[in-house]
Structure 1
Amino acid sequence: MHRNKELHDHLLSKARQLTEDWYNTIDKSNSSGVYSSNDPKVIENLKKQNFEFHQLFCEVFIIDKDTFYKRLDDWVLTIAEDKHHLETPTHNIIQEFMRVRNQYLDFVNEFAQNCKEENIFNQMRLWEDIVIDSFDRAMLRFMELQNEVVKKQLQSQQQIIHELSTPLISLNADTALVPLIGNIDPARAKMILENTLQQCVQKEVSHLFIDLSGVVMIDTMVAHQLFQLIDALELIGVKPILSGLRPEIAQTAVQLGLNFDRLTITSTLSQALTIKSNNR
């Protein structure tokens, strides 16, 4: 049985010392990110996070494992989401987890040496095992949770990039331009369709220039989605005018059997603007 109230109380009484000893022994010359910061607020928060960990970790010796792991996961998540830890190399963070683990093993050994219980050697091995297992879980959960946080950030950034890469530019009260540049994959094509329709409704656009002169190549699926956009624009009362259609894209559209009969197409954007001006 690894539970021991006296060991819990002993470790808890050392919590502040553990934090100060840990921070003072960080090799700041070989660390980066949060561990090498000179900002007093960052340092204070780092010590606070470490002290909270000690207050939590001591409970492994008095509460059931499931409850402890749930509380441990909650603390690990706050570190995984912490801005300064996200800016810190993962290997530095894992290194600090391991140093704190060694602190606990030293204190457990110290407690066992002063303990007069029978079979204390076996008991100490049990305590050491629970410390090692709990830190292993903490490190594993940290890497898992931080990976999830980084993934969400990348997805959010990717969405912003897609939105910025398909701007709808108002030319006058009822006319707008969507200049498409670079490679268009299915995800970006879907974003173009959704954003363009939404902005056309919001800005009350009746004529929309779609310029493809900056698009080098698209596959059949993307071509199909772009022409779905054209059909959808007509359904909401927007007249699309297509310019800069490269031969390769035109060939893909023909192979898909797409109908150009109702669509105004020009070689360049300037020609498209001239047609619109002459129709006023």
Structure 2
Amino acid sequence: MEKNMALHDFIVNNTDSLTNAWFQAKKAKESSIYSSTVPTIGEKLRVQNKKFITTIAHIFINPDTESNYDAIKKWASEVAKDRVSTQTELNEIIPQFKVFRQIYWNKINEFASEPTNSITAEKLLTWSNLFHYAFDNVIEEFVATYTAYHRSTLLAQQEMISELSSPIIKLTSEISVLPLIGSIDTQRAKIITETSLKQCQEKNVECLVIDLSGVPIVDTMVANQLFIAVTTLELIGVKSIITGVRPEVAQTAIHLGLDFSHITIYSTLQKALEKWGVT
């Protein structure tokens, strides 16, 4: 245990030299966070790397303590989320782990090679097993967190874009318009339904004009989702008017057997607004 403590202290005392060695060895494309010359970014990378060094070093003095691996996973999780926020790709990150693994292990070998430390081959093998197991844990946790966080971030962005692409515009105290533009797939149709309900309640909408003139294609699933949206709006007291229905959209609705007879339909948005006295 005494030699393990000595190795720990040696590593901790060399955090700066290890980090400097990584900065000299790391290679990355010009736009990468790893090649940035911005002082604040460089300092952040140094702080994160030094924390990583000391976290790994703790396994040599408490190899069987679960808290050490909890700390390793915590570091990996925090840094993975940071890399997602800086839009750093995994194919830029993993090579950095590879480079620093060798730098770190070389430093351990440097300590073991010092004759005065009297490190046996058996002891070095034990350290090797501890080190590489811990390092593998870091990469495994990092990739898992990065993938999950990246996926959730993309989903949140997609939902935000979908919400922004289906705004309800209040024209008068009685009537509002939902202009739909561009292709609508099943996922967007569901989001439109959800956001429409939310916006209608927030804006106290009494009548909603859903304009489809900017929608080129509506498949069977989307037409059905539109029917559900209109029906759901009725349940919360919102009258729906549909405008700009293209012939192919009408054919899709007929093919599905959807009953729009109870819904007011106008050929254009202008005609609907004129009917309601909005010009």
Tell me the TM-score normalised to structure 2 length: 0.88
| Contact residue 104 and residue 131 of structure 1 kept, 8 A | no
Aligned residues: 277
Match of 2:155 in 1: 155
Q: Which deviates more from structure 2 when the two are superposed, residues 87-96 or residues 44-53?
A: 87-96
Classify the secondary structure of the residue corresponding to 2:277.
helix
After TM superposition, list the pairs within 5 Å mapping 1:115-154 onto structure 2. Answer: 120-154=120-154
Aligned-partner Cα distance in 1 for 2:163–2:7: 56
| Contact residue 112 and residue 119 of structure 2 kept, 8 A | no
Match of 1:44 in 2: 43
Aligned-partner Cα distance in 1 for 2:230–2:46: 58
Q: Which deviates more from structure 2 when the two are superposed, residues 62-71 or residues 150-159?
A: 62-71
| Contact residue 73 and residue 141 of structure 2 kept, 8 A | yes
> Offset at 1:201?
2.2
Q: How big is the alpha-carbon RMSD for the aligned residues of Structure 1 and Structure 2?
A: 2.6
CA change 1:239–1:85 in 2 (3 A) is closer
The answer to whether 1:14 aligns with 2:14 is yes
Aligned-partner Cα distance in 1 for 2:30–2:67: 33
Give deviations 1:95-136, integer Å, cap 9, x for gaps: 222222112221222222235688811221232233223222
Aligned sequence identity (%): 39
After TM superposition, list the pairs within 5 Å mapping 1:81-230 onto structure 2. Answer: 81-82=81-82, 86-114=86-114, 120-230=120-230
Classify the secondary structure of the residue corresponding to 2:276.
helix
Match of 1:271 in 2: 271
Aligned-partner Cα distance in 2 for 1:172–1:36: 54
| Contact residue 22 and residue 100 of structure 1 kept, 8 A | yes
Give deviations 1:211-261, integer Å, cap 9, x for gaps: 111222223232122112222223333222111112222222223332233
Q: Which deviates more from structure 2 when the two are superposed, residues 258-267 or residues 145-154?
A: 258-267
| Contact residue 244 and residue 269 of structure 1 kept, 8 A | yes
The answer to whether 1:56 aligns with 2:55 is yes
Match of 2:236 in 1: 236
Tell me the TM-score normalised to structure 1 length: 0.88
Aligned-partner Cα distance in 2 for 1:66–1:54: 18
| Contact residue 80 and residue 86 of structure 1 kept, 8 A | no
Instruction: Output the amino acid matched with 1:62.
Output: I
Instruction: Output the amino acid matched with 1:133.
Output: Y
CA change 1:26–1:252 in 2 (3 A) is closer
